[in-house]
Amino acid sequence: MFHRYGLALASALLSSWPLAANAANTIKIGFPIPLSGPVAVYGQPVLKGAELAVSQINAKGGLLGRKLELLVRDSKANADEAVRVSRELIIKDGVDFLVGTVTSAEAPAVSTVAKENKIVFIAPVAETTRLTDPQNVHPYVFRTNSNTDVEGLASAIMMARWKDVKSVATIGPDYAYGRDLIAAFVANLKKLRPDIQIVDQQWPKLGEPDFTSFITAQMSKKPDAVECAVFAGDFVTFSKEAAPLGYFKLLHNRMVDSGGVGTIEEVRALGNDYPYGIVANTEDPVIWNSGNEPPAHAKYIAALRQFTHEQYPPSWAVQGYLTISALADGIRKAGSTNSDAVSKALIGMTFDTPIGKRTFNVKSHETFQPEFYGTMVREAAYPFAVMKNPELLPQSFTPTN
């Protein structure tokens, strides 16, 4: 009798084993992201947005009967470290997908790893055109952020509006992002305002600890305005060093910074040291003073505020959130976690985000994502600089690839 009962119990357990195993078998998403160093001011919020998206998806039962799991590693904004942890995530941890990186040094390096291992990789922040240009695009790489061509055009549009500006200087980090953005800005400015001359270009390294020599060299050229691509913790250092030297006063605050320094993260980090009056950009203003906030964005911000326990949650979180959401839509569409199937599902796919619909380009695998630009001002209601009348730019863009 006990023998028969034992056999029946074993049979029942074996018959239910696939279901139990499937429930325990999570969909693993490797997430290499800068969590230390100057770029962490962007990396940490991107992670928060991704965690919110995962928590919402899992609360609804997950995908294909399985929960999502983020496996997070600090890429330290370093290409070699990003490659190392990505390979470890694939080989040791067996992740199904990769999402992450911030800089335009990390993302192309991780893209190569994704290609070698035939695993879908989505970059939520990196903007260099080299990531998805015809020479480097492959079936497994995707981007949800703007690229430097789009950003360069938007920056030139803003600069061209200052009719009394006749001479412009540029300063940007000396690597793919800075070089690509400044080149796109200059090319577009020459079309929009051929009367403007570029009188100086400075190229500090990413993570530069002392900008003084770059600042004084640029001031000696006496430009009317500056296009700046310095971002994250570097912009905090740059601003605190530039202000006492009279840099912003020399420019009458006519600077366009395209590195996301209009974000909550950046304005909070600088506080009263923020160079009020400059034009900055952000993927998400968070504080929507214009009165036309999309309902989807208001709902997202309410959820993010509750998730982070912050009255003013971070701007960059939206990129982590919408990237995980896009991947989830791709998995649903494919009905599988197989990267080949998900890649096919993502190509040309349109998906909803808190800031509007986005579509992965069939050729470049990136989305056209304009950004919000505006003058940064002081308002008594807020303890930091806020963007006045955020404007989404550019309204349209024709890829050259």
Q: What is the CATH number of the domain that holds 204?
A: 3.40.50.2300
Q: For residue 247, tell me if it sits in a domain.
A: yes
Compare 24 and 228 and report the one with higher pLDDT: 228
Residues of the chain with pLDDT > 90: what percent? 90
Q: Is residue 398 part of a domain?
A: no
CA distances from 26 to 54, 65, 96, 119, 121 (A): 12, 9, 9, 16, 18
- At residue 175 the predicted structure's pLDDT band, cuts being 50, 70 and 90, is very high
For residue 43, give the amino acid letter. G
Peptide bond into 394 cis (omega under 30): yes
pTM higher than 0.85:
yes
314 and 261 belong to one structural domain: no
Which tokens is 206 given?
A: 């990413």
Domain range enclosing 90: 10-146+299-359
For residue 313, count other CB atoms closer than 10 A to its CB: 25
Tokens of 264: 């909550």
Kindly state whether residues 277 and 313 are assigned to the same domain.
no
Q: Do 264 and 315 touch, CB atoms closer than 8 A?
A: yes
Is there a domain that residue 289 lies in? no
Residue 323, domain member (yes or no) = yes
Buried b (16+ CB within 10 A) or exposed e, 33-56: bbbebbbbbbbbbbbbbbbbbbeb
Quote the pLDDT of residue 400. Answer: 60
Give the residue carrying structure tokens 């040094």.
105
**One domain for residues 46 and 130:** yes
Query: Residue 4: its pLDDT value, please?
Result: 39
136 with 76, same domain: the answer is yes
* Alpha-carbon span 162 to 214, nearest angstrom: 24
Q: Give the number of domains in the chain.
A: 2
What pLDDT, on a 0 to 100 scale, did the predictor assign at position 392? 92
Q: Within a domain: residue 1?
A: no
The token pair that represents 294 in the structure block: 């999309």
Residue 209 has phi, psi (to 5 degrees) of -85, -20
316-369 pLDDT tens trace: 999 999 999 999 999 999 999 999 999 999 999 999 999 999 999 999 999 999
Both structure tokens of 251: 């420019």
Sign of the four-CA dihedral 382, 304, 396, 197: positive
84/182 same-domain check: no
Mean of the pLDDT values across residues 250-258? 98
Contact call for residues 232 and 39 (beta carbons, < 8 A)? yes
Token couple for 271: 């506080």
**Distance (Å, rounded) from C-alpha 225 to C-alpha 242?**
14
Cα–chain center distance at 40: 12
- How confident is the model over 40-49, as pLDDT tens digits? 999 999 999 9
Give yes or no: residues 255 and 387 share one domain: yes
Structural domain contains residue 291: no
* Same domain assignment for residues 229 and 188: yes
Same domain, 71 and 114: yes
Note the pLDDT tens digit of each residue in 44-78.
999 999 999 999 999 999 999 999 999 999 999 99
- Rounded to whole angstroms, how far apart are CA atoms 183 and 394? 17
Do both 58 and 70 map to the same domain?
yes
| Three-state DSSP state, 230 | coil
> How far is residue 342 CA from its own chain's centroid?
22
The tokens for 133 are 């240009």
Using CA atoms, how far apart are residues 69 and 54, in angstroms rounded to an integer? 7
Residue carrying structure tokens 């009165």: 291
Predicted confidence (pLDDT) per residue in 177-214, tens digit: 999 999 999 999 999 999 999 999 999 999 999 999 99
- 259 plus 376 within the same structural domain: yes
Q: What is the pLDDT of residue 398?
A: 77
Spatial CB neighbours of 92, under 8 Å, sequence gap ≥ 6: none
Q: Domain for residue 366, yes or no?
A: no
Same domain, 354 and 381: no
Amino acid letter for position 239: S
State the Cα–Cα distance between residues 196 and 177, nearest whole angstrom. Answer: 23
Does residue 85 fall inside a structural domain? yes
User: Does 139 share its domain with 154?
Assistant: no
User: What would the DSSP string read from start to end of 96-159?
Assistant: SEEE---STTHHHHHHHHHHHHT--EEESS---GGGTSTTT--TTEEE-S--HHHHHHHHHHHH
Per-residue model confidence (pLDDT) at position 294: 87
The residue among 158, 46, 215, 139 whose CA lies nearest residue 390 is 158
* Positive or negative: CA dihedral 273, 293, 310, 67: negative
